[in-house]
Structure 1
Amino acid sequence: MEPTLGYLVWRLSMKWRSSVDRALAPLGLTHAQYVVLASLSGLSARGPEPSQRQLADHAGLEPIYVSKLARALENASLIERPVHPDDPRAVRLVLTDRGRKTVAEAIAIVHALMAEQTAAIGGPKGKQAKEFRETLLALLGENPSP
């Protein structure tokens, strides 16, 4: 019997998550913590530091989960969580100097891992990878970026 698409997507996501967990373990990060740090880094580079809610929406994570991850990252001195100036009920997420250094290292590690794991389809910039990315975006109901 041929495996279903759902089963293959699940296996691929589990393989990716566990590979990232192993690769980032020396930095003391999990895949989920990496998602928060890398998303925060990207969002902060494009504008003001996001609120936890904005980061959750961007990363596709539940706000309560981002809150839990943010507390752990704050305890590790990788981020700070000051009160949002426009809404005292919300907090902003801000990378510390240590957080910026750590996320830069983590991004380099994850990019190398992506290159290794996509080598069979021509690497992350290959034609097959581009088509696969567009397929995944369609399945997620998102528009591919130009």
Structure 2
Amino acid sequence: MDTGLLLWRVTLQWQKKITAALKPLGLTHVQFALMSELERVRSEDGQVNQKQLARRARTDEMMTGQVLRVLETRGLVIRWRAESNRQSILVRLTDLGHERLTTATPVVKAVDDTFFGAAEPDLRDLFTLLGESETA
């Protein structure tokens, strides 16, 4: 079987499990990914705008804006126009968003540990290669 096709199938199976695990928390996988990236920015004591968030999370800019709009209506993120550049929309987690992410993170980690656990030694090499390809 083609390696790319195999990787695609594994990714789809993994995403299906993540989606099912996050559903009771009212989050999608993309919402969780964007919220996780916002938390990383916060822990670095920085700010990020929507465009930068999309770049950091490797998501489509337009889709990122749509997802953030949903998260904002649910009180999980707050967005505002930057003073220095009115076209730039800054975004951060609210306290409620931080709480929801804190609840969701161990759920996602448990799925990851179960799904990838048996292949752990072999996956380290693959993850190293994938990480290197992102910076190339």
| TM bracket (short chain) | over 0.9
Secondary structure of 2:4's aligned partner: helix
Task: Please list every run of 5 or more consecutive structure 1 residues that lacks an aligned counterpart in the other structure.
Answer: none
User: Which is bigger in relative contact order (C-alpha 8 A, separation at least 6)?
Assistant: 2
CA distance in 1 between counterparts of 2:29 and 2:57 reads: 12
Q: Which amino acid counterpart does residue 96 of structure 1 have in structure 2? A: T
Deviation string, structure 1 residues 38-81 (Cα, Å, up to 9, x no partner): 11111121122210011000010111010000000001110000
Q: Which amino acid counterpart does residue 134 of structure 1 have in structure 2? A: T
Equivalent residue, structure 1, for 2:38? 40
Give the counterpart of 1:52 among 42, 50, 67. Answer: 50
Number of residue equivalences = 136
TM-score (norm 1): 0.87
Give the counterpart of 1:103 among 73, 95, 101. Answer: 101
Give the counterpart of 2:135 among 123, 142, 146. Answer: 142
CA distance in 2 between counterparts of 1:96 and 1:90 reads: 19
Percent of aligned pairs sharing the same letter: 25
CA distance in 2 between counterparts of 1:13 and 1:77 reads: 30
Task: Please list every run of 5 or more consecutive structure 2 residues that lacks an aligned counterpart in the other structure.
Answer: none
TM-score (norm 2): 0.93
CA distance in 1 between counterparts of 2:135 and 2:130 reads: 9
The answer to whether 1:62 aligns with 2:55 is no
Task: From the two aligned structures, give the one with the greater helix fraction.
Answer: 2
RMSD over aligned CA atoms reads: 1.4
